[in-house]
Amino acid sequence: MSRILSGLEDSCLAYIDDIIIFNKSFAEHLQALRTVFERFRVFNIKTSGKKLTEIAQSKITFLGHEISYNSYSPADRNIRAMKEFPTPTTAKEVKRFIGMANFFRRFIRNFAGIAAPLYELTKTNAKFLWGTRQEEAFIALRDCLASKPCLAYPRDREFILCTDGSSLAVGAGLFQRSEDDDNKLVAIGYFSKALTDSQKRWSPTHIELFAMVSALRFFRATIYGNLTRVLSDHKPLTFLLKHNKIHDNLARWIVELQSYNITIEYLKGSSNTVADCLSRVTRPSSQFQEGSPEIDDIVEFPRCLVGFR
């Protein structure tokens, strides 16, 4: 299919035999439809009439997602399946539930941390004991998706990345200011990663730096080319980034950070970076200047280092 639709990536995407055609105007959409149908005729591709009912729609369902012009969310069918999923009684059922939830983990803040008690039941030779922690994790994931979370599409403007680390996992949230209201943040996506047993023994600063590097790697394709403000509630991290003598294990991450067009800001008084980001950063960026009572340190890498990407 990629060969058949080659050159149409700006208005058409395909996943195996599922195709979505998208345009900014109705006239452009008609032209794109003609082009795609002509390709099908040339390559003798036949389509089902039942699957051609969603034409010129402002909102469609594609690959388990409900997609509109400015945002996307889990499809109603998938949300219903999550809401109706019974409490697991075997490790196999836990794996099935995790698999369903994992498909939408980009919508869930701190997915890895929330799901950790469930993952414990899927380990080899693990005894199946469904306790309070597992029940709370199951309900939390189910309720989160039942609320039908939405994510916005990334725009060509500044990003705000809020990172955080804990003894169980690292995570981050990527945001941008709304085009309609500059005082409002919209979520672009969430990232989380469970720590291994050896990583759990790292120092808090080591974990926080790992959270920052991991999040930047995850969102690299999205933020590439745009200035990104990275916010962290871990003040020792700002001292580490300015220090000349750094442990070898951390030095390579510091060098990697220099490949991004970022500024790193310390957000004072945060108990939860992502949650605090939502409450504190929803104000004009002009208030985040030197001497602000909330930002104590800012680390900005030279623009010349961007060429190292």
pLDDT for 130-170, tens place per residue? Answer: 999 999 999 999 999 999 999 999 999 999 999 999 888 99
d(CA 2, CA 8): 10
| Structure-model confidence comparison of residues 300 and 83, the more confident one | 83
CB 138 within 8 A of CB 118: yes
**In the predicted model, is pLDDT for residue 297 greater than 60?**
no
Q: SS3 letters for 12-37?
A: EEEECCEEEECCCCHHHHHHHHHHHH
Q: pLDDT category, 184, cuts 50, 70, 90?
A: confident
- The per-residue DSSP string of 166-199 comes to -SSEEEEEEEEE-SS-TT-EEEEEEEEEEPPTTG
Phi, psi of 25 (to 5 degrees): -135, 160
- Mean pLDDT (the chain, rounded): 84
CA neighbours closer than 13 Å in the CB half-sphere of residue 201 = 2
How is residue 71 written in tokens? Answer: 């945002």
User: Which among 272, 163, 282, 164 has a CA at the least distance from the CA of 223?
Assistant: 163
Length, in residues, of the chain: 309
Contacts for 34-42: CB closer than 8 Å, 24+ residues apart: 35/8, 36/5, 36/8, 36/12, 39/4, 39/5, 39/8, 40/4
Cα angle: 239, vertex 243, 248; to 5 degrees: 115
pLDDT for 261-279, tens place per residue? Answer: 999 988 875 445 555 555 4
Q: pLDDT category, 180, cuts 50, 70, 90?
A: confident
Q: Would you call 265 helix, strand, or coil by DSSP?
A: strand
CA neighbours closer than 13 Å in the CB half-sphere of residue 136 = 7
Cβ-based neighbours of 252, under 8 Å, separated by 6 or more:
none
pLDDT for 98-141, tens place per residue? Answer: 999 999 999 999 999 999 999 999 998 999 999 999 999 999 99
Domains of the chain in start order, with CATH, are 12-57 (no CATH), 74-146 (3.30.70.270), 154-308 (3.30.420.10)
pLDDT for res 295 = 38
Residue 35, Cβ density class (10 Å: 0-12 exposed, 13-18 middle, ≥19 buried): middle
With a pLDDT cut of 70, the percent of the chain lying above it is: 85
pLDDT for res 274 = 57
